[in-house]
Amino acid sequence: MLDKAFDPATLEARLYAASEASGAFHADPSRAAAPYTIVIPPPNVTGSLHIGHALNNTLQDVLVRFRRMQGRDALWMPGTDHAGIATQMVVERLLATEGKKRQEMGREAFLERVWQWKGESGGTITRQLRRLGASLDWERERFTMDEGLSAAVLEVFVRLHKEGLIYRDTRLVNWDPVFQSAISDLEVESREVKGNLWTLRYPVEGQPGRFIRVATTRPETMLGDTAVAVHPEDARFADLVGKHAILPLTGRRIPIVADSYSDPEKGTGAVKITPAHDFNDYEVGRRHDLPMPSVLDAEARVMLSEIEAELAAVEGVADPGFVRSLAGMDRFAARKAILAELERLELLEATEPHTHQVPHGDRSGVPIEPRLTLQWYCDAATLAKPAIAAVEDGRTQFVPRQYENLFFAWMRDIQPWCVSRQLWWGHRIPAWYGPDGQVFVERSEAEALAAAAANYGRAVELTRDPDVLDTWFSSALWPFSTLGWPEQTAELKKHYPTDVLVTGFDIIFFWVARMMMMGLHFMDGEVPFKHVVIHGLVRDARGQKMSKSKGNVLDPLELIDQHGADAVRFTLCALASPGRDVKLDPQRLEGYRAFATKLWNAARFLEMNGVRVDASWRPEQAEGVLARWLLAKADDAARDATAALDAFRFDDYASTLYGFTWNTYCDWFIEFAKPVLNGPDGPEKDEVRGVAQYVLGQVLRLLHPVMPFITAELFEKLGYGEAVALTTAAYPKAEGQGAASAAVDLAIAAITAIRSARSALNVPAAAVLPLRVGQGSAASLQALRDFAPQIMRLARVEAPQFLADAAEGAGPGASAVAVDVPLFLPLSGVVDLAAEAKRLAKDRAKAEAERAKLEAKLANPGFRAKAEEAVIAETEQRLADAAAEVARLDAALTRISS
């Protein structure tokens, strides 16, 4: 016997553990079944499950469970990435509490410590994914730093280098002074900062008393200025172009150049150019062939080595002694000192408050310092071409489609990808340097030594590059490295290309783009995935982004504790409309938890009424109208649910099943079944019991992808089979059960019409009224006869009296209509006839308006001439119906007033 209420907390852990242990989530390449493959976008190993993960993984799990039930050899590949910066940060913080520093420990010991941390704490998110019910193939769990994946990284790096697609170059990078490493553009976020706009005066060479004024938000970089730029068409400065300015403090002579980068509208119209510390200035520097001295070191402290030689004393303008005093000073302290000195020299003209966007490291939280450094680059522009082509010709499709534009925009303007990071935790770059600095990129130190020996004609000592690769470099290989590449495994053969990548739009550049580039390059031009399903961000009920500072964060694990994993999953699924953010209102969760309870109670009801699972019951044998009606509706639900999932419409999938389960199955079928179940034993009762258990079985299967726990529990408790068996039970298909019986729909219409009339007339709920049935088609009258017990029970009426002719039944009372049959509720004395008259008049007005509208439409010659035949016929039918409705209501009004 089922418990009185569904209690998710007591069964989720048990059910999940049983499924995992049963091997139901495990793919097997030796199986004949066609593959279905999703690789999880690898969560960060330091991470824990947030609501965005819950959405992302719910959608993946729904797809995987659905396809698995359809008989596919489903593989959902689990794992995490090593998150270079984040992990290093976590462990360094841990060390700090012990009073230790990474630099003191040395690289080896530090890495050992990171692995130790990973062993102890790196499994958080994978444990949490189990609570969500995610049916990942845990036996295959991978980690980007594990042996196999590291081999893949090595192979890719070496091959790309030999192909000339990886090279070293000195370029401007986003430098994070906290981590002292290059970071990706994508790890930089712009933050609004209240600062100042300072106007500086640079003396013009050879024109005493004349200055060119430049506005800047970063005065400390002026030490590295190598030009002043003005707009070529700016008349104010036309005579200065080609002349020089004397850079204050350093005394350096710098050219005044014409470049359209300078905006005449902004600031003073002249802009200082510091090529080594600003991306725009860097481009200007390249255009004008300017020197690019760096003036800030790895920690963003003032560094003079590249400008020291040119320091010159200029009376009232530059003092080398002052500049030297800045050496080693932090950039913000240097800013203050420089401003003070400029002020003293009367070269600081104005200070205005100014709010502007400043790039910050998303993890360190400090302003990024663009720095000119020697790094390893990957030729992304070349690799991007096949990726763009694959999306253009539809080998990979985005869902929703419009995200392809975002992908194209980024890929067509892609910059060289800086892949080196000045960290310890990560894949160490397989590059060794000879005594003269020549580089040898090989798969191992031995190979590098051999290559060096061949090159120099003798054995030499090599030094290995200390840097590691960007974490995304290894993530980019994830769709094939996890399948065993570079080994040609059975898994790789069967499961690549994968079917779908499910991710948020914010991650298109991180994962999608890079996986596409690497997949196409290394897998013989085969795309890594056929579909990219993009979902929105999870926001709070008011549409605000969740953030710790706002305190509006919803923790999925708490939600699971409160409502059950099924309700959380169903909610996320129902709200996942394509291209929209998910506004998660706790009220919605309550609503879908109620849905789970509803399903539970329906099952309980059947159990209490002697409905038992009968695997031999065949739907084709059902003859009764009610059974056939339910089977046809179940067919529709199966077809619609499947179509929705085929199209990645998770919202439609959820609402189809919500409606079918609650409205069709519980509200109508079960209510119609009650008189039969309470009645005498016999073939009719057997059939109702049979169809009840059969369709409930279908419902459990249909819902299982989104509500794996409650469905498995009911599957087992009711006797359909072991809980774990539902994981691989066949997903229902539309079976061709035909159209739903009109007889049931007519009975439903009759009940609804009578209920509506009763309610409008304030008939006491408990009152049982007489019911007279007027003239109608033979089929309709038969339907009302067949379902008389249901109508009596659900509409609270006496056994219907079928009237012999239209004249009968006249007399005061309420009236209603079910399709083509008038229904009379003689209510003289019981009911407020004036209220009934009012109700009828209102309905009549509505019907008359409809009639008039249709008549006008048909009277339009253009409509007659140009509309499709079928549309005209339909409109005529509707007009006839409306006219009949008006006539019926007129008759009812007449009866009442007589």
Partner RNA sequence: GGGCGCUUAGCUCAGAGGUAGAGCGCCUGCUUUACACGCAGGAUGUCGGCGGUUCGACCCCGUCAGCGCCCA
Tell which phi-psi region holds residue 459, choosing left (phi > 0), alpha (psi between -120 and 50) or beta. beta
Q: How far is the CB of 552 from RNA (least distance, A)?
A: 14
Q: How far is the CB of 648 from RNA (least distance, A)?
A: 12
Token digits of residue 531: 């579909």
Query: Can you name the residues that pair with 817 across neighbouring β-strands?
Result: 822
| List 379, 651, 684, 848, residue binding RNA (CB under 7 A) | 651
Could you say which residues in the range 542-561 bind RNA, by CB under 7 A?
A: 543
CB 63 within 8 A of CB 500: yes
Q: Which long-range contacts (CB under 8 A, 24 or more apart) does 849-855 make?
A: 850/878, 850/882, 851/879, 851/882, 851/883, 851/885, 851/886, 854/878, 854/879, 854/882, 855/879
Strand pairing category for 772-773 and 801-802 = parallel
User: How many alpha carbons fall within 13 Å on the CB side of residue 748?
Assistant: 16
Rule CB under 7 A: is residue 811 a binding residue for RNA? Answer: no
Q: How far is the CB of 340 from RNA (least distance, A)?
A: 32
CB 415 within 8 A of CB 535: no
Strand pairing category for 772-773 and 582-583 = unpaired
Q: How far is the CB of 617 from RNA (least distance, A)?
A: 21
Q: Name the nearest CA neighbour of 638 among 688, 701, 681, 692.
A: 701
Q: How far is the CB of 582 from RNA (least distance, A)?
A: 8
Rule CB under 7 A: is residue 760 a binding residue for RNA? Answer: yes
Rule CB under 7 A: is residue 844 a binding residue for RNA? Answer: no
Piece of the chain touching RNA by CB under 7 A; list 211-219, 308-316, 367-375, 760-768? 760-768
Rule CB under 7 A: is residue 887 a binding residue for RNA? Answer: no
Rule CB under 7 A: is residue 856 a binding residue for RNA? Answer: no
Query: Can you name the residues that pair with 167 across neighbouring β-strands?
Result: 377
Q: How far is the CB of 164 from RNA (least distance, A)?
A: 27
Could you say which residues in the range 515-544 bind RNA, by CB under 7 A?
A: 543
CB 212 within 8 A of CB 237: yes
Rule CB under 7 A: is residue 596 a binding residue for RNA? Answer: yes
Could you say which residues in the range 332-371 bind RNA, by CB under 7 A?
A: 357
Helix (H, G, I), strand (E, B) or coil at 629: helix
At CA 361, angle to CA 534 and CA 109, rounded to 5? 100
Site for RNA (CB under 7 A): how many residues? 62
Name the residue nearer to RNA (CB basis): 428 or 535. Answer: 535
Token digits of residue 194: 């209240």
Q: How far is the CB of 633 from RNA (least distance, A)?
A: 15
Name the residue nearer to RNA (CB basis): 235 or 765. Answer: 765
| List 455, 759, 777, 894, residue binding RNA (CB under 7 A) | 759
Report residue 710: phi and psi, to 5°. Answer: -65, -35
| List 292, 637, 670, 769, residue binding RNA (CB under 7 A) | 670
Please report, in angstroms and rounded to a whole number, the separation of the first and last CA atoms in the chain.
58
Helix (H, G, I), strand (E, B) or coil at 39: strand
Rule CB under 7 A: is residue 868 a binding residue for RNA? Answer: yes
Cα-based distances in Å from 420 to 87, 168, 664, 873: 17, 10, 59, 71
Q: Which long-range contacts (CB under 8 A, 24 or more apart) does 293-296 make?
A: 293/224, 293/226, 294/224, 294/371, 294/372, 295/221, 295/223, 295/224, 296/220, 296/221, 296/224, 296/331, 296/369, 296/371
Spell out, one character per residue from 2 to 21, where the chain touches RNA: x when CB under 7 A holds, - when not.
---x----------------
Rule CB under 7 A: is residue 666 a binding residue for RNA? Answer: yes
Token digits of residue 850: 């409809």
Rule CB under 7 A: is residue 680 a binding residue for RNA? Answer: no
Token digits of residue 774: 């007027």
Token digits of residue 354: 């100014």
Cα-based distances in Å from 708 to 76, 243, 703: 16, 76, 7
Rule CB under 7 A: is residue 866 a binding residue for RNA? Answer: yes
Rule CB under 7 A: is residue 442 a binding residue for RNA? Answer: no
Rg (CA), the chain: 38
Cα-based distances in Å from 793 to 172, 673, 751, 788, 799: 80, 11, 9, 8, 10
Rule CB under 7 A: is residue 752 a binding residue for RNA? Answer: yes
> Could you say which DSSP state residue 219 is in?
G
Report which residue type is found at 707: M
Piece of the chain touching RNA by CB under 7 A; list 74-82, 374-382, 548-556, 866-874? 866-874
Piece of the chain touching RNA by CB under 7 A; list 35-43, 438-446, 660-668, 702-710? 660-668
Query: Cα(278)–Cα(272) distance, rounded to whole angstroms?
Result: 11
| List 395, 583, 639, 717, residue binding RNA (CB under 7 A) | 583
Listed in sequence order, the residues at least 6 apart from 537 whose beta carbon sits closer than 8 Å to its beta carbon are 52, 504, 506, 545, 581, 582
Rule CB under 7 A: is residue 745 a binding residue for RNA? Answer: no
Q: How far is the CB of 68 from RNA (least distance, A)?
A: 26
Q: How far is the CB of 238 from RNA (least distance, A)?
A: 25
Q: How far is the CB of 838 from RNA (least distance, A)?
A: 12
| List 124, 601, 775, 782, residue binding RNA (CB under 7 A) | 601
User: Rounded to an integer, what is the distance from CA 346 to the centroid of its chain?
Assistant: 56
Spell out, one character per residue from 131 to 170, where the chain touches RNA: x when CB under 7 A holds, - when not.
----------------------------------------
| List 34, 594, 845, 873, residue binding RNA (CB under 7 A) | 594
Query: Cα(641)–Cα(645) distance, rounded to whole angstroms?
Result: 6
Rule CB under 7 A: is residue 643 a binding residue for RNA? Answer: no
Piece of the chain touching RNA by CB under 7 A; list 229-237, 310-318, 629-637, 756-764? 756-764
Q: How far is the CB of 567 from RNA (least distance, A)?
A: 8
CB 339 within 8 A of CB 223: no
Rule CB under 7 A: is residue 765 a binding residue for RNA? Answer: yes
Token digits of residue 148: 């196999």
Rule CB under 7 A: is residue 807 a binding residue for RNA? Answer: no
Rule CB under 7 A: is residue 663 a binding residue for RNA? Answer: yes
Rule CB under 7 A: is residue 217 a binding residue for RNA? Answer: no
Name the residue nearer to RNA (CB basis): 499 or 843. Answer: 843
Listed in sequence order, the residues at least 6 apart from 247 whose beta carbon sits closer than 8 Å to its beta carbon are 202, 222, 225, 253, 254, 318
Piece of the chain touching RNA by CB under 7 A; list 93-101, 227-235, 573-581, 823-831? 573-581
Piece of the chain touching RNA by CB under 7 A; list 85-93, 196-204, 647-655, 813-821? 647-655
Q: Name the nearest CA neighbour of 512 among 37, 39, 58.
A: 39
Could you say which residues in the range 489-508 bind RNA, by CB under 7 A?
A: 506
| List 10, 103, 402, 547, residue binding RNA (CB under 7 A) | 402
Name the residue nearer to RNA (CB basis): 144 or 790. Answer: 790
Query: Cα(118)–Cα(509) distance, rounded to whole angstroms?
Result: 27
Report residue 203: phi and psi, to 5°. Answer: -65, 140
Report which residue type is found at 848: E
Rule CB under 7 A: is residue 867 a binding residue for RNA? Answer: yes
Element (H, E) at 244: strand 244-246
Token digits of residue 141: 């769990």
| List 108, 865, 897, 898, residue binding RNA (CB under 7 A) | 865
Rule CB under 7 A: is residue 740 a binding residue for RNA? Answer: no
Name the residue nearer to RNA (CB basis): 205 or 667. Answer: 667
Name the residue nearer to RNA (CB basis): 225 or 404. Answer: 404
Piece of the chain touching RNA by CB under 7 A; list 248-256, 598-606, 715-723, 769-777? 598-606
Query: Cα(599)–Cα(700) distance, rounded to whole angstroms?
Result: 9
User: What residues make contact with RNA under the rule CB under 7 A?
Assistant: 5, 190, 357, 402, 405-406, 409, 506, 543, 575, 577-581, 583, 585, 587-588, 590-591, 593-594, 596-598, 601-602, 604-605, 608, 651-652, 655, 658-659, 662-663, 666-667, 670-671, 674, 752, 755-756, 759-760, 765-766, 857, 860, 862-863, 865-868, 871, 874-875, 878
